[in-house]
Amino acid sequence: MVFLIECILNQNSRDIGAASYKAMNVKVINLCMKYHVGMVQIPCPEMTCLGFGRERKPGQSIRDILDTESGRRCCADLARIVGGRIKEYIASGNKVLAVLGGNPESPGCAVHYDGDTGRKLSGQSGIFMQALFRELSRIKIDVPFLGIRDCRSDWLASDLQSLELFFRDR
Ligand code: SF4
């Protein structure tokens, strides 16, 4: 199985104007179906921490507000829940292949690597993804984080190709 961000399965969770598809990213879903990979939806951290309207002061970005003490705490709380769920699945004999994150500019879910090993996230990553990475490290779970960049068709094509190779190898 993979743990994937809420908006891959439901683009309606995105901020107004940020959806790339009308309802869902069918290409990612089809790939999971093709390789019989279960999908566990991670609740959208922006909606969890800020509500659907992403309430914030004028001039404040979503990242600004997620990157505050209370925003980081909220992301850490969600990361603990998701980390606990991943741990339970693994303890029950399931194979969690990856965490699928979001676009490079996503305040909550961007995936950027620190170095070229592809195993450590940098501070450019979304605030929630960093929290989840820390939580998984804390509970000693090593699961790769893969960005699914659907804001550009060429990036998505490249990410789908990598994901298919990744699934094929497992
Ligand atoms: S915060 Fe994450 S799950 Fe929510 S809309 Fe943005 S990329 Fe998707």
For residue 43, give the ligand 1 atom closest to its CA: 3
- For the chain, the average pLDDT equals 96
Would the pLDDT of 9 be above 90?
A: yes
**Residue 149, ligand 1, Cβ within 6 A:** no
109 alpha carbon to ligand 1 midpoint, in Å? 6
Question: Where are the chain's structural domains?
Answer: 2-168
Task: Give buried/exposed letters for 12-33 (b at 16+ CB in 10 A, else e).
Answer: ebbbeebbeeeeebebbeebbe
Question: CA-CA distance, 143 to 170, in Å (whole number)?
Answer: 13
The per-residue pLDDT for range 59-99, each reduced to its tens digit, is 999 999 999 999 999 999 999 999 999 999 999 999 999 99
The per-residue pLDDT for range 104-136, each reduced to its tens digit, is 999 999 999 998 777 899 999 999 999 999 999
Question: CA-CA distance, 28 to 85, in Å (whole number)?
Answer: 22
**Residue 108, ligand 1, Cβ within 6 A:** yes
pTM exceeds 0.85: yes
